Amino acid sequence: MQKAAAQLRWTGSWYTVFIVVDRYSGRPIDAQFREELLAFMAPYRLMGHDIEIQAPYFVNLDIALTVHVLPNYFQSSVKRSLMETFSNKDLAVGQRGFFHPQAYIVRIDDNGNTNITFGDGQSGARLPTGDENITATYRSGIGLDGEVGAGSLTVLQTRPLGIVEVTNPLPAIGAASPETRDQARSQAPVNILPMERIVSVQDFETFTRTFAGIGKATVATLEIGQNLPLIHLTIADRNGNQVSPDSILYTNLFNAINAARDPAQQRRLAVASKVEIDSYEALYFNLQAGIWVDYRYRSDLVLSEVKTLLVSAFAFEQRTFGQGVTAAEVTALIQGVDGVQAVNLEALYLTGTTQELKSSLEARLAIWNSETKQALPAQLLLLNSQDGVNLHQVIS
């Protein structure tokens, strides 16, 4: 298909997602296509929601123009030019009418490569012949590459008249790499849950998780000794960094939450600030393990693969706020690597504490400190990938 649009509507007893699909070359929305699309969408369908697939409904667009023609021009020539301008045809010198169908398809693959696909003149435009007659406008610096430090931007790509020099007094922050395929799949069901409004406590978390630049979020209701509890949000940005209260990302998120909240609810909570946003508290742990390696495998490669697996499994992308780590979990991961015959976990402890073997390490969610009268954000327990993984081969 070349175009699709979806809309969530309340249909009396449940929500229905209406999907309008425009297939290439005007192909019909037949039963087989409906079944294939419904099967594809099944993993993303929320419980209690129906999906209905519809063909597009085309309507004629009437445009009324009042044109004043200069004395030196023929009205018929002006009319013909206007008809061409608002047509769906290819015009002279490579231009197209205002309602010309899409000329090409731009798709970005999983590796970040951009592919441009042109058509055959019927479905999509055919490339014009000749040399150097195709121009493209694009943006550079998307994602983490755009997070430059203060004072590093000194050259403009285009220099308007009168500009002598330029610089950026503040660093660029809040950038995030484009979503991967797996991230898009996990976020797709979440994106429609808040429906751009915040009513319940859970809506605060759902809304924040879908906010651009936010990688993780969790909400907690904290009793602070007053009539109304404190709604506390713990957040992290897309790259696993903490979000400073002085940053643009923090300000935009705070303003967006206030704009999406129920006005009646805000009036009830006007006696005090009942929503608080904090960055997470990072915790790190170390481990040490002895590994028996199968003689048919190279021990250095096996140990390297074990370390890579551990670093990946306990990285920011895989862990959640308040999630602990157990010795059994670490042992099972190591034991699952090809070439590992047995493993002896010798130490599991928080970074900065005494080296010992603990059966589990805990990370807490947000709590209220009654002594300091402050909220403590949720903790995120991660592996110390720099020097916290000590693996050695055991030879028996």
238-260: per-residue pLDDT in tens? Answer: 888 889 898 888 999 999 888 88
Phi, psi of 264 (to 5 degrees): -65, -40
Q: Give the number of other Cβ atoms within 10 Å of residue 217's Cβ.
A: 22
Residue 202 has what pLDDT? 85
The mean pLDDT value for 2-22 works out to 78
pTM confidence score:
0.62
Q: 368: helix, coil or strand?
A: strand
Half-sphere exposure (Cβ direction) of 110: Cα atoms closer than 13 Å: 5
Residue with the bigger pLDDT between 305 and 179: it is 305
How far apart CA 227 and CA 41 sit, in angstroms, is: 44
Band the pLDDT of 272: cuts 50, 70, 90. very low
Share the mean pLDDT of the chain: 82
* Predicted pLDDT of residue 191: 59
Q: What is the pLDDT of residue 311?
A: 95
Residue 91 is given by DSSP the state: -
**3-state class of 261 per DSSP?**
strand
Percent above pLDDT 90 for the chain: 32
pLDDT above 70 for 92: no
| d(C-alpha 35, C-alpha 145), whole Å | 42
Buried b (16+ CB within 10 A) or exposed e, 66-104: eeeeeeeeeeeeeeeeeeeeeeeebeeeeeeeeeeeeee
What domains are there in the chain, each with its CATH number?
Answer: 3-54 (no CATH), 62-126 (no CATH), 183-279 (3.30.300), 281-393 (no CATH)
Is the model's pLDDT at 189 over the cut of 70?
no
pLDDT at residue 73, as a whole number:
72
Q: How confident is the model at residue 310 (pLDDT cuts 50, 70, 90)?
A: very high
Average pLDDT over residues 62-81: 75
pLDDT at 348: 96
Query: What is the distance between the alpha carbons of residues 39 and 33, in angstroms, rounded to a whole number?
Result: 10
Average pLDDT over residues 217-238: 86
pLDDT at 339 over 90: yes
237 DSSP 8-state letter:
E
Pair 179, 187: CB distance under 8 Å: yes
Alpha-carbon gap, residue 217 to 240, rounded angstroms: 11
Return all residues near 372 (Cβ < 8 A) that are at least 6 apart: none
Farthest-apart Cα atoms in the chain, separation = 102
- Range of weakest confidence among 2-11, 40-49, 118-127: 118-127
Q: Which pLDDT belongs to residue 150?
A: 86
**Residue 311, beta-bridge partner list:** none
Q: Which residue has the higher pLDDT, 21 or 100?
A: 21
Cα three-residue angle 159-160-162, rounded to 5 degrees: 110
Given a cut of 80, whether residue 101 has pLDDT beyond it is no
Average pLDDT over residues 326-348: 95
Q: Six-digit token pair at 228?
A: 């109304």
Query: What is the structure's pLDDT at 146?
Result: 74
The tokens describing 127, both together, are 């490339």
Predicted confidence band of residue 88 (pLDDT cuts 50, 70, 90): low
191 vs 105, residue with greater confidence:
105
What is the pLDDT, as a whole number, of residue 195?
58
**For the residues 19-30, what does the mean pLDDT come to?**
76
Quote the CA–CA distance of 173 and 153 in Å, as a whole number. Answer: 14
